[in-house]
Amino acid sequence: MLIYTLYGLFILSCVVLVIVVLLQPGKSGAGDLFSSSVSSTAFGPRGTASILSKITIGAAAGFMLFALMLSVPGVTGSHSVLQSTASEATPTPAPVASPAATTAPVASPAASQAASPTGTK
């Protein structure tokens, strides 16, 4: 349940951050050429900039906090792929051959050809 709440808050902070950044007024640019110098704002001449900047700071802090919390493996319950394969990749010891099997003579192909009555083919 906690993970779904974190994902929801993360997505909400992303959306709020995008909207607030897009609503912020620019410093000055080509838009000033086409508009008049009189501005009619509901919050005063610098009121919207301060409110939007505070919301932007809050949304950015929330975005970073939620992203950090979602990256912690203890919160999400996930584990690393490398950690899971490291325990499975431990080599098993090879079976030890019995001493009786190692003392038996091994015949080579050259010895079997020399023992044949026809010699070489």
Q: DSSP 3-state assignment of 96?
A: coil
Packed helices 47-71 and 2-23: angle between N→C axes, nearest 10 degrees: 150
Tokens of 45: 């001449």
**How high is the pLDDT of residue 74?**
75
Instruction: Supply the pTM of this predicted model.
Output: 0.50
Q: What's the chain's average pLDDT? A: 74
Residue segments in the chain with a per-residue pLDDT below the cut of 50: none
Convert the pLDDT of each residue in 11-34 to its tens digit: 999 999 999 999 887 766 555 556
**How high is the pLDDT of residue 10?**
94
| CA distances, 57 to each of 4, 51, 53, 118 (Å) | 24, 10, 6, 96
**How high is the pLDDT of residue 77?**
72
Round to whole Å and give the CA distance between 15 and 24.
15
